[in-house]
Amino acid sequence: MDSYVIPAGTETSKFLQFSPGSDHIHLVLEANARLSATALLNMAPGTTHDITLTVEQHEGSSLNLATFTLRGGEYKGKIHIRLVGKGAEVSLAGAVIADGKERVEKNILIEHAAEGCTSDMLYKQILTGESRGLIEGKVLVQPGAQKTVSHQTFGNLCISPEAQALSRPMLEIYADDVKCNHGATVGKLDEAALLYMRQRGIPETEARLLLQHAFVSDVLQHVPNEELREKISHLIEHRFRGELNACQGCSLCDNKA
Amino acid sequence: MLEIKNLHACVEGREILRGVNLTINDGEVHVLMGPNGSGKSTLSNVLVGNPKYEVTEGSIIFNGKNLLELSPEDRSHEGIFMSFQAPIEIPGVSMTNFMRAAVNAKRKYYGEEPLGATEFLKLLREKRKVVGLDAHFMSRGVNEGFSGGERKRNEIFQMAVLEPTFSILDETDSGLDVDALRIVAEGFNRLRTPKTSAMVITHYQRMLDYLKPDFVHVLVNGQIVKEGDASLGYEIEERGFDWIKTEVENG
């Protein structure tokens, strides 16, 4: 397990690099620390991965995490955030793209263990082929964690009829003064938007690709660094075009996979 | 340019067009009027190849080509453009990326290389002037957060970029205030050449004032029942459609 501490009162951004197979990263955000973290998973098809991220957030700390699962093979990801200090904030955003026989399972738990903390989850899945994607997002509000505010949004796009997407927002609340809500949608590509684009001369396949990319654009907005955001955006585009092999063309890590 | 013969078309199994005949030559502007539900929008949707509309009989020849055999994107490349009645929002696809995809797809169709970044941005800058669309719209999602007037201006901007030979303006004037209508109509007029034609669907006299159409056609119940010059448009503005319906009923 790799462990990192973000010192009190500092602000930093970090690219989280997970090793294939089984890996665990633990982060501690001390009081008023601010961290913007990005993680990218692009694993070879047919491989199996079990990846865990645990985070402990102290008073007034803030975490903005964006994760992109471009290829997961058979992938299980766990995220467990503990908000242990007053007024801590966490914003989690993730995009999962899967095709073929890929299986992606994400299990997210945000634990509000102190007063006045805020959490936000935004997860999008785009599935084709016979892939399956499951996202379980749970917000647990401990006794005493009053004035908790939490919001969960899940969106799924199934491109092929055989793909299966499942989102499970869950709330477990043991405090009485909280504001928690969630929403989930499963959709197909917007036919009216497709026609509009084709009328302008954009070929149907290209139009579909642009719309898929657009579907995860709000997740991309969680990457604060513009250069990195552009890079990931390009990787996603290559992924949709079927031009992306594991780590090919990706300069983000040292081709660890 | 465009020759529509005995066109019959259905939407969701209901026949809307019942034998439309219409010929539009180079350089002409034709106005299509008609009561709600008479088939005006169906005709424009059929022309752009909306897959929801099914042509059951008749033919459309566009510059010598059988239009009905072409995909919506190829119709666009061949020079057909529709300014949509209710331009849709596409959040997450920036105007710039949208226009780049459109411009380069057309260039590819004609065997040309994609436009370089500098040239492309220059093109957008030039064309934005036609309707006075600010630069910041280009980084927004397509029509995302645009007001009604901005959306219609955006349609004419796209028309300016794509330089179609045949444009369909489907109630481009609806929902516009006087100033926005002037900007849109003047923008459209600026793009007119002796080689370009248009079919304009409108309910308003103001649009006739601006566009000075060559012909006005009245569509009732899926057929063109009356034709004339611009004065017919003004007569309809004054008297409505009932007298035309009565004329038709009395043969």
Q: Identify the residue with better confidence: A27 or A161.
A: A27
Mean pLDDT, chain B, whole residue set: 93
**Residue A243 at interface with chain B, using a CB cutoff of 8 Å:** no
How does pLDDT run across B89-105, given as a tens digit for each residue? Answer: 999 899 999 999 999 99
Token digits for B95? 């105007």
Chain B residues inside the 8 Å CB shell of A200: 76, 98, 102, 158, 162
How sure is the predictor about A245, in pLDDT bands with cuts at 50, 70 and 90? low
How sure is the predictor about A41, in pLDDT bands with cuts at 50, 70 and 90? confident
The amino acid that residue A221 corresponds to is Q
* Mutate which: A122, A194, A197, A220, vs B, most B CBs within 10 A: A197
How does pLDDT run across B145-181, given as a tens digit for each residue? Answer: 999 889 999 999 999 999 999 999 998 887 788 888 8
Stretch B188-198: mean pLDDT, rounded?
Answer: 93
Residue with the two structure tokens 């026949």: B15
* Cβ–Cβ < 8 Å for B219, B18: no
Per-residue model confidence (pLDDT) at position A152: 95
CA angle in degrees (0–180, nearest 5) for B145-B148-B154: 80
Does the pLDDT of residue A253 top 70, yes or no? Answer: no
The CA distance from B105 to B180, in Å, is: 30
Name the residue facing A201 among B76, B88, B90 (closest C-beta): B76
Per-residue model confidence (pLDDT) at position A252: 52
% chain A with pLDDT above 70 = 95
Q: For B77, name the nearest residue in chain A, comparing CA atoms only.
A: A201
The CA distance from A234 to A112, in Å, is: 35
Q: Which of residues 167-226 of A touch B (CB under 8 A)?
A: 190, 192-193, 195-204, 206-207, 210-211, 213-218
**Residue B51 at interface with chain A, using a CB cutoff of 8 Å:** yes
Per-residue model confidence (pLDDT) at position B110: 96
Q: For A198, name the nearest residue in chain B, comparing CA atoms only.
A: B73
The CA distance from A126 to A230, in Å, is: 19
Closest by CA position to A173, among listed A134, A200, A122, A139 = A139
* Cβ–Cβ < 8 Å for A95, A112: no
How does pLDDT run across A199-243, given as a tens digit for each residue? Answer: 999 999 999 999 999 999 999 999 988 999 999 999 998 888 877
Per-residue model confidence (pLDDT) at position B137: 94
How does pLDDT run across B127-141, given as a tens digit for each residue? Answer: 998 888 999 999 999
* Cβ–Cβ < 8 Å for B95, B142: yes
How does pLDDT run across A86-130, given as a tens digit for each residue? Answer: 999 999 999 999 988 899 999 999 999 999 999 999 999 999 999
Stretch B115-121: mean pLDDT, rounded?
Answer: 93
Q: Do B88 and A190 touch (CB under 8 A)?
A: yes
β-bridge mates for residue B141, sequence order: B94
Per-residue model confidence (pLDDT) at position B198: 95
B66: Cβ contacts below 8 Å, ≥ 6 apart: B59, B60
Per-residue model confidence (pLDDT) at position A82: 98
The CA distance from A201 to A197, in Å, is: 7
Q: Do A200 and B77 touch (CB under 8 A)?
A: no
Domains annotated for chain B, with CATH where assigned, are 2-249 (3.40.50.300)
Per-domain boundaries in chain A:
2-190
Q: How far is B41 from chain A (nearest CA, A)?
A: 15
The CA distance from B28 to B8, in Å, is: 24
How does pLDDT run across A173-201, given as a tens digit for each residue? Answer: 999 999 999 987 777 788 899 999 999 99
* Cβ–Cβ < 8 Å for B40, B225: no
Listed in sequence order, the DSSP H helices in chain A are: 191-199, 204-215, 217-220, 226-240
Per-residue model confidence (pLDDT) at position B65: 96
Does the pLDDT of residue B106 top 80, yes or no? Answer: yes
Pairing of strands A164-173, A132-141: parallel
- Number of Cβ atoms within 10 Å of the Cβ of A231: 17
Q: How far is B97 from chain A (nearest CA, A)?
A: 9
The CA distance from B204 to B174, in Å, is: 8
ipTM, 2 dp: 0.94
The amino acid that residue B90 corresponds to is I
